[in-house]
Chain A
């Protein structure tokens, strides 16, 4: 297998950003991503602010949900759009709150391509990493990961990281029905069910005041558990 440099595959990659009321940071996030990824797709999930307009001005392709239906549904819309577009071989999911680094996304896609993987998960707990994760958040994420691993028979170190890369072909076997935040657990489960090849890579998650305010709360983890049970 020929080892490829990221610049060779950047044009075949679409970066998908689910977005909901992110006007404070979305321009910076897209501007930074555009220095690496020529194709950035934002799914505006019924934002009531100017996120969609700003994302478009920053150079992203924007798909609009008429009403807010959840992050999982936004990713599913993004997957479908990319699947319909013959330009792409790879896709990366990227959070809109600025907590991910574009260079980590590049690394994920490069490894995906060069190692012949179907999916590459990003992990903030996989050594070495420089993420300074708040203690409560760390405990919560570790618990969620343990539950996800138990439910999906997998051994990931970070199951709810919004940064992940996958091939378009692999995305066709991942049909997400969880519209809310429980999609992350369902994603792992579908990867396992479809027997897709996956690896985990260390990434750095940047915890700013803004990203912390947008992150998942303890109460939301109860909603995730209920969504999974009811499904």
Chain B
């Protein structure tokens, strides 16, 4: 039962974390993402050197196996970055659109003169 509650807590924590990281383009979330990006290779190296550490974390969090926890963290990181890239791409699209629209109107105004 406790394990189920911990799992639900993890999912409940991951969803808003994903939304905040993926959608926000502010300086704070950008710094967080950069930290995550640099932490991830470090974690990979650490996992290779000390594979049993994941089992220890898994036991703390109520996840059955260390490898499962590693999978969850990997998927979360990947999905967050995909979401972030999508958000960033959309913001850039909107900025380009604004530029293209202004250019079209400026050209039209020039033609009128």
**A61 to B109 CA separation, bound complex (whole angstroms):** 12
Residue B4 CB within 8 A of the other chain: no
B90 touches which of A65, A66, A77, A230 (Cβ 8 Å):
A230
Q: A residues touching B (Cβ–Cβ < 8 Å)?
A: 43, 46, 61, 63-67, 69-70, 73, 76-77, 80-81, 84, 177, 179, 230
Query: Is A43 a contact of B97 with CB atoms below 8 Å?
Result: no
Residue of A43, A65, A77 with highest tally of chain B CB at under 10 A: A77
Residue B94 CB within 8 A of the other chain: yes
Determine how close the nearest CB of chain B comes to the CB of A71; give it in whole angstroms.
Answer: 12
Query: Is B105 a contact of A77 with CB atoms below 8 Å?
Result: yes
Taking A179-B93, A179-B94 as contacts, is the C-beta distance between A73 and B100 under 8 angstroms?
Answer: yes
Determine how close the nearest CB of chain B comes to the CB of A20; give it in whole angstroms.
Answer: 13
Residues of B with C-beta under 8 A to A66? 100, 103-104
**A64 to B108 CA separation, bound complex (whole angstroms):** 9
**A65 to B98 CA separation, bound complex (whole angstroms):** 10
Enumerate 15 A-B pairs (CB-CB under 8 Å) in ascending A order.
A63-B107, A63-B108, A65-B100, A65-B104, A66-B103, A67-B96, A69-B93, A69-B100, A69-B101, A73-B100, A73-B101, A77-B105, A81-B108, A179-B93, A230-B86
